[in-house]
Structure 1
Amino acid sequence: MNSNPTTNSGQQPLTVSMEVTDEYMVQEILNDGTEIYKHPLNMSENFAKIIQRIDFDKLSTILSNQGNGQNNGGKKDFEIPEVQVNVSSFINPAQRQPFSQLAPQFESIKSKIMNALTNISVMYDVIKVAKEPDYLVIEPVAKDQSRMTDEKHITVLVSKKKAIAQAAQLISNALDRLQNEANHASRSRIDFHTELRTMRQNWRLRKKGQNIIGDLSYRGAWSNFSQPATFEVIRSENQTAQNPSSLIVNTPKTLEGGNFYVVRTVKGNLQSNTLFEPLKVSHPQLQNQSNESSWQTRLEIAQNMLFNNELFKRLAHESVLLKLPIPTIAAGNQILAPLFPGLQLSINLCHPSPNSSTQYDSASNNTVLEHTLYQLLHEIHYKNMHFPLPRPTSVTLAINSARYVAGPRAYDKKTLAQISQNETILEQVIQQAQHSMLRLRTMCLIDSLAIEIQDPLIIPNWNYLNAPNQTSVRVDLYSYGYEGFSSCRTSVMLHIDTKTVKAIMRDGRVLNLSFESQELRHLLLNLISHHQVVALQSLAKAMGWKLVSLNASVGVGKQEPVCGTASSLVLISPNGERTVSVKSGPHSGIKVKLSSSPQEFLPSNLVSNPQWQQLNGQFKIVNWQRLPGKTFVNKMEYMMACLAIKS
């Protein structure tokens, strides 16, 4: 498009060329200003448009004139006028190439014309064959005259009705199969809104603009953990048989993969170069998780990972504030806390590593302490949401019930500080770990003594229900075959705490022992040595022997090599001719000595009773282990029965 030239004084006229930037022509403009464009024509439509511009009336006039000229015998050449079209896409008539060279450009038009010509030729042949009898004769099929007389109209009607019914049944069965296939396809495809309603029943969702945002945090439980915990819900258009869900959940990258705790006790001191190295363990439950998992599984893993991160943050903060004789260490994803000398508690927050050669071993992980970590944080969340009821109702919420009676009972400042002081999660876990290790030590010690010492029998009775930081066990000592004697049973009650063991004797004495296993071992050995003397005393009374002396703690003679004191017992036979002395020590063992009077006793005015003759007799050591019998009490019974016979 050229604009009109403008001239100025002393200047040449300037020609300005302008082009329309629109590719498509505007077909219609709506009331709101929206323009509807007209798409360009393709080659066949453009060719049809050009054909419509040809004046066929002028062409028919020329052809009729040609016919008249032939009748007159004249021969005149004529030209078909060409239509001049100002289209840049067509070739100039002066430079037009032959039709063979233009065939690729008009291939689609040529194929359509050839197909139309073929169809018309076939239709013409069919009509010609059907109309002219020279090619084909169509005659009706002749029927049997005998059957035509017998056939009635009602029979024809019934047969047609039956045939129509069969056809209708076939169509109905096909329709039922199609409906079943459609219903099955619709049932296998989960609806987006139905699944979204199911998600809202378990997770917090809200709509922000055009997006659906969910929250995985524990803010409803007054949690102050600030890690991002939002996820986005998107509609899935590609549902497959392996993943029929119509929802796609996009969780933060920091909450993918999952994590888990490994709580274990470590002997010795760890090297400083291994503190900051993460523990790489492949967990079987988290190893096969991928993006193709269900949205419920992915959200549960993400929320568990958020819970573990919050728990580890609390533990790390408490480890810094906790004041212990041996300080705790928090390095990387690991927390070390001392339990006993040479024994530490290790808490590791592990992330699954598919390339790790170390497999998750449930035997090395203390699942009880791991469960305690989760339970303590759950209790904190529960207490934040469930306050105790006020008494009276006008009192403010979230006050400890013990503080309600602080005024009437006149509690001092120290008592109020003890009431308001709460143990942290790390302190409770350390105490429970100490108690579990002390209980395990006590259990192993009692079992080893029961195997080592067969006489008397050591039978522990553990309570089935115990507190997390306290366990009770009753240890009974029995002499085999003499359970009917009340004195042949010795019992001791052990209360195992976090760092101490309290032993309650049968006579009411209370002994407080430390966490050292040797102290409990010495106590049990002393009870065993004293039990043998007391059981022999009960047997002597039943057999008629006389008790001269019983000393539970012998202070004379050779002392015990390690710890404890021996017990002694002196018995006289019923006839007064034999005297038995027994000494039982926790480490030295049992020693039996025997003294007898002379065989010929000559009474005098000064000594008339034969028993006084034994005062100056010498005691001889008896090898009691060679006596027949299973236990010490059984062997002493056999010996005393033989000594009681009058010579």
Structure 2
Amino acid sequence: MMNSQSTTNQQLTVSMEVTDEYMVQEILNDGTEIYKHPLNMSENFARIIQRIDFDKLSTILSNQDNNNIGPKKDFEIPEIQMNVSSFVNPNQRPSSFCQLAPQFESIKSKIMNALTNISVMYDVMKVAKEPDYLVIEPVAKDPNRMTDEKPITVLVSKKKAIAQAAQLISNALDRLQNEANHASRSRIDFHTELRSMRQNWRLRKKGQNIIGDLSYRGAWSNFSQPATFEVIRNENQQQAGQSSLIVNTPKTLEGGNFYVVRTVKGNLQSNTLFEPLKVSHPQLQNQSNDSQWQTRLEIAQNMLFNNELFKRLAHESVLLKLPIPTIAAGNQILAPLFPGLQLSINLCHPSSQSSSTQYDSVNNNTVLEHTLYQLLHEIHYKNMHFPLPRPTSVTLAINSAKYVAGPRAYDKKTLGQLAQNETILEQVIQQAQHSMLRLRTMCLIDSLAIEIQDPLIIPNWNYLNAPNQTSVRVDLYSYGYEGFSSCRTSVMLHIDTKTVKAIMKDGRVLNLSFESQELRHLLLNLVSHHQIVALQSLAKAMGWKLVSLNSSVGVGKQEPICGTASSLVLISPNGDRTVAVKSGPHSGIKVKLSSSPQEFLPSNLVSNQQWQQLNGQFKIVDWQRLPGKTFVNKMEYMMACLAIKSS
């Protein structure tokens, strides 16, 4: 807008400042960028004014005064000719300032641009303020409407119009975002995907190539095998979800491999001992070069880990000294566990043949397979994480117990135990022996519980166990008489790698070997002794008198198995009945009864009745024909009948 004094034909030059992109001032460590805001008009004008050298300007003006001849007069700063009529003086005078200082042409142009912007702003404000130029009048009402609109109606209509406008803007924004997301999903950026790869894998640039490393050098691994891969750009990226990276791994690390750990019974034939095991792994099937780079790198690194593990196992098998030596040949290692039982560790490669056995049907022990991986992982972890030394001035990676060996005066044997370090193969063999011995014990207890139903055999296994030790408590109950303290017999079994330690109820400790027959003999002895102890407790409750209790009978027929029989002699409350019970682990239970004469005839020789209470000969009782479910129940019925005084 122009002033009224300006001419109508004169053009108005309006300067517009383009909003520049914010300049990056600082980049933090986490990638956050701090931008520098652009200068506004006043700051830009102040920055331009600061470039003027006023000392040089005063020197030029003093030289001009000296050259002029005549009376001195006040100096007036010449006006600058502009095309803006609001700041134009009609009496413009030519000035020689521009001719004398051509180096100020840039400053002159910038000042003129600033004055132009200020002039435009002044004109806009004047038009908006004074009603001579712009008048704002209300919209004329529709003469057809007879009644005035209510304020609430106007408010509702405005809200509706604003909501429609907001909905249009929201829909447009959603379409723009969908198009942007579709464009980003259609093609994966090479640098973005390369950055995500660098977060998980070691990469370095060698010349024009990008080389990656799959080895475990960071964990101080000395296994030497080519473990580098190359990353190149995929130039033929056409599909929507296709990766922009191509990974080239060594041929020796393609296809993958896995372990099959199993126990083998009997002696294997030499001609079929080290034949390759043809199995197929479900996770390694259908692996091609077109697979995702993350999957291919994981399979290659796992294969490198398995190769290093097998090399360690083969080296340890040669150094391991066992009564029966271990055998390592090809991709298989055989280690003895028990007589007639061996541990087989096979490093298998996936086979695509139709005759290959499936992975689940090979009886693979997944627990021992996981143990192999875990033990090597612990070695890598210890190589990277050393315990803090005590004191802090000593070197790392030394056992802290050796620092106190001198003050505590350790002998040679103790120092040798500190220096002992079990290998991976030794730990796996021990865990395999423990698992087989635990399985044997479990099967033995279950078979006895099915075979012997009186008393009840109830094992209580502890699920929180060590890898090489398991605890189980075996309880023997007489059904229906659990309330008696003596009607329950317990034994604690600690299953180790080659031995089973049995802790009896009275505190005795028995060390058994890995032979299951020894544990069977022990449990049968406990069963026979439990019947006698339960009968003793029942006799006390029924009022019978205990005459004799022998846990190890030394007379009579000897038991064919390890152990001795137990015996018990009871007398009825009235003293005219005597019951003798013998229980053996193999011979079983035998019950005998002896009674006194039923009639008393006094004579000159025997005048007192008490001499007639002497019992006669013992007779064998067929206790199995007595009514009752268990032995103790039948004996209770018989003792109750015998306790009645004979008439």
State the TM bucket, normalised to the shorter chain.
0.7 to 0.9
1:210-221 alignment, distance < 5 Å: 210-221=208-219
Q: Deviations over 1:174-198 (max 9, x none)?
A: 9997995575133321111111111
Pair 112,641 (structure 1): closer, same or farther in 2 beyond 3 Å: closer
Q: Quote the Cα distance in structure 2 between the aligned partners of 1:167 and 1:385.
A: 63
**SS of structure 2 residue aligned to 1:320:** helix
Q: CA offsets, 1:364-422, max 9 Å, x none? A: 11000000000000000001011111111112111112212211211112211111110
CA shift, 1:87, in A, is 70
Deviation larger for 91-100 or 175-184: 91-100
Q: Does the residue aligned with 1:145 lie in a helix, a strand or coil?
A: coil
Label 1:107 to 1:445 Cα distance change in 2 as closer, same or farther (>3 A).
Answer: farther
Q: 1:367 to 1:41 in 2, by over 3 A?
A: closer
Q: Show the counterpart of 1:574.
A: 573
Higher gyration radius (CA): 1
Which SS does the other structure have where 2:144 is aligned? helix
How far apart in 2 are the matches of 1:43 and 1:75?
40
Structure 2 unmatched runs, 5+: none
Residues 43 and 251 of structure 1: CA distance in aligned 2, closer, same or farther (over 3 Å): farther
In 2, the alpha carbon distance for the partners of 1:577 and 1:229 equals: 93
**Residue 362 to residue 401, structure 1, CA distance change in 2 (3 Å):** farther
Change over 3 Å in CA distance of 1:167–1:411 after alignment to 2: closer
- Contact 2:6–2:85 (Cα < 8 Å) also in 1: no
Range moving further from structure 2, 20-29 or 413-422? 20-29
Q: Return closer, same or farther for 1:260/1:92 CA change in 2, 3 Å cut-off.
A: farther
Q: Which residue among 90, 95, 110 is the counterpart of 1:93?
A: 90
Deviations 1:546-602 (CA, angstroms, capped at 9, x unpaired): 000000000101111222110000000000010000000001000000000001124
CA-CA distance at 1:130 after TM superposition: 55
- Inter-CA distance 543–190: structure 2 relative to 1 (3 Å threshold): same
CA offsets per residue over residues 270-296 of structure 1, 9 Å max, x none?
111123321111111101221111111
**1:162 aligns to what SS in structure 2?**
helix
Shift of 1:23: 51
Q: TM-score, normalized by length of structure 1?
A: 0.72
- Aligned partners of 1:239 and 1:644: how far apart in 2? 100
Q: Which residue of 2 aligns with 1:462?
A: 461
How far apart, CA to CA, are the structure 1 residues paired with 2:136 and 2:7? 85
**Residue 72 (structure 1) aligns with:** 69
C-alpha deviation, 1:237, in angstroms: 1.8
Structure 2 CA distance, aligned partners of 1:609 and 1:2?
159
CA contact (8 A) 1:44 1:109 kept: no
- Offset, 1:205: 0.6
After TM superposition, the structure 1 stretch with the greater mean CA deviation from structure 2, 479-488 or 146-155, is 146-155
Question: Deviation digits for residues 334-375 of structure 1, max 9, x if unmatched?
Answer: 000000000000000000045443111167110000000000
CA contact (8 A) 2:594 2:615 kept: no
* C-alpha distance 366-157 of structure 1, shift in aligned 2 (>3 A): closer
The CA distance in 2 between the partners of 1:58 and 1:423, in whole Å, is 90
Note the residue ranges of structure 1 that are not aligned, 5 or more in a row.
none
Are the equivalent residues in 1 in contact too, given 2:525–2:563 (CA < 8 A)?
yes
Between 1:140-149 and 1:252-261, the stretch displaced more is 140-149
Whether the 8 Å CA contact 1:457–1:477 is kept in 2: the answer is yes
| Higher mean C-alpha displacement, 612-621 vs 323-332 | 612-621
Aligned to 1:128: 126
Q: Is the 8 A contact 2:25 2:36 kept in 1?
A: yes
Q: 1:82–1:406: structure 2 CA closer, same or farther, 3 Å change rule?
A: closer
Change (3 A) 1:386 1:5: closer
**Preserved CA contact (<8 Å) 1:2 1:16:** no
Q: 2:262–2:343: 8 Å Cα contact kept in structure 1?
A: yes
Counterpart position of 1:158: 156
2:518, 2:211 → 1: CA distance?
A: 62
User: How many pairs align?
Assistant: 643
Given that residues 597 and 611 in structure 1 are in contact (C-alpha distance below 8 angstroms), is that contact kept between their aligned partners in structure 2? no
Question: What secondary structure does 1:437 align onto?
Answer: helix
Task: Answer yes or no: is the 8 Å Cα contact 1:601–1:610 preserved in 2.
Answer: yes
- Name the CA distance, whole Å, in 1 between partners of 2:369 and 2:401: 31
- State the partner residue of 2:24: 26
CA RMSD of aligned residues (A): 20.2
Counterpart residue number, 1:50: 48
Specify whether residues 300 and 607 from structure 1 end up closer, same or farther in structure 2 by C-alpha distance, changes over 3 A only: farther
The residue matched to 2:636 in structure 1 has which SS? helix
SS in 2 for 1:53: coil
Q: Distance in 2 between matches of 1:157 and 1:16?
A: 40
Residues 488-514 of structure 1 show CA distances to partners (whole Å, capped at 9, x for unaligned) of 000000000000000000111110000
Find out whether 1:291 has 2:272 as its counterpart.
no
Show CA shifts across 1:298-355 (max 9, x none).
Answer: 1000000000000000000000110100000101100000000000000000000454
Q: Distance in 2 between matches of 1:637 and 1:570?
A: 15
Matched-pair contact (CA < 8 Å) for 1:5–1:14:
no
Does the residue aligned with 1:94 lie in a helix, a strand or coil? coil
1:241 positional shift: 3.5
Structure 2 contact 592–621 (Cα < 8 Å) conserved:
yes
Partners in 2 of 1:556 and 1:392 — Cα distance? Answer: 69
| Shift in CA distance, 399/594, structure 1 to aligned 2, threshold 3 Å | same
CA contact (8 A) 1:488 1:534 kept: yes
SS at match of 1:147: coil
Alpha-carbon contact 1:576-1:611 (below 8 Å) kept = no
Please state how far the C-alpha of 1:78 moved relative to its aligned partner: 90
- Measured against aligned partners, the alpha-carbon deviations of 1:148-204 in whole angstroms (never above 9, x if no partner) come to 999999999999999999999999999997995575133321111111111111111
Is the 8 Å Cα contact of residues 5 and 13 (structure 1) preserved in structure 2? no
How far residue 3 of structure 1 moved from its aligned partner, in angstroms, is 89
Distance change in 2, residues 1:169/1:585 (3 Å) = closer
**Contact residue 499 and residue 514 of structure 1 kept, 8 A:** yes
Q: Go from structure 1 to structure 2 and tell me whether the alpha carbon gap of 1:395 and 1:611 turns closer, same or farther (over 3 Å shift).
A: farther
Distance 2:588 2:27 in 1: 118
| Pairing 1:141-152 to 2, within 5 Å after superposition | none
Show CA shifts across 1:417-447 (max 9, x none).
1111100000000000000000000000000
Contact kept? 1:4, 1:15, Cα under 8 Å: no
1:645–1:37 distance in 2 versus 1, CA, 3 Å: closer
Report if aligned partners of 2:185, 2:240 keep a CA contact under 8 Å in 1.
no
Which deviates more, 21-30 or 614-623? 21-30
Conservation of the 8 A alpha-carbon contact between 1:5 and 1:15: no
- Mapped to 2, the partners of 1:608 and 1:285 lie a distance apart of 98
* Structure 2 SS opposite 1:190: coil
For residues 620 and 207 of structure 1, do their structure 2 counterparts lie closer, same or farther at Cα, with a shift above 3 Å needed?
Answer: same
Tell me the CA shift for residue 624 of structure 1.
0.4
- Quick one: structure 1 residues 63 and 394, their matched pair in 2 at CA, closer, same or farther if it must change by over 3 Å? closer
Alpha-carbon distance between aligned partners in 1 of 2:487 and 2:35, rounded to the nearest angstrom: 112
Question: 1:117 offset after TM fit, Å?
Answer: 63
Distance in 2 (CA, whole Å) between partners of 1:198 and 1:153 is: 60
Once the two structures are TM-superposed, the CA of residue 239 in structure 1 deviates from its matched residue by 2.2
**Residues 569-608 of structure 1: pairs in structure 2 closer than 5 A:** 569-602=568-601
1:548/1:606 CA distance change after superposition, 3 Å: farther
In 2, Cα distance between equivalents of 1:55 and 1:486: 113
254 and 100 in structure 1: CA distance in 2 versus 1, 3 angstrom threshold: farther
Query: Which shows bigger deviation, 501-510 or 392-401?
Result: 392-401
2:473–2:490: 8 Å Cα contact kept in structure 1? yes
Helix, strand or coil for the counterpart of 1:154?
helix
Q: Is the 8 A contact 1:492 1:504 kept in 2?
A: yes
C-alpha distance after superposition, 1:514-554 (max 9, x if no partner):
00000000000000000000000000000000000000000
Residue-by-residue CA offset, 1:219-249 (whole Å, 9 max, x unaligned): 1000000011000011112224375211111
Tell me the residue number matched to 2:365: 366
Task: For residues 455-493 of structure 1, give each alpha carbon's deviation from its aligned partner in whole angstroms, at most 9, with x where no partner exists.
Answer: 000010111100000001000000000011000000000
The CA distance in 1 between the partners of 2:72 and 2:601, in whole Å, is 193
CA distance in 2: counterparts of 1:295 and 1:345, whole angstroms: 36
Q: Deviations over 1:64-100 (max 9, x none)?
A: 99999x9999999999999999999999999999999
Question: Normalising by structure 2, what TM-score?
Answer: 0.72
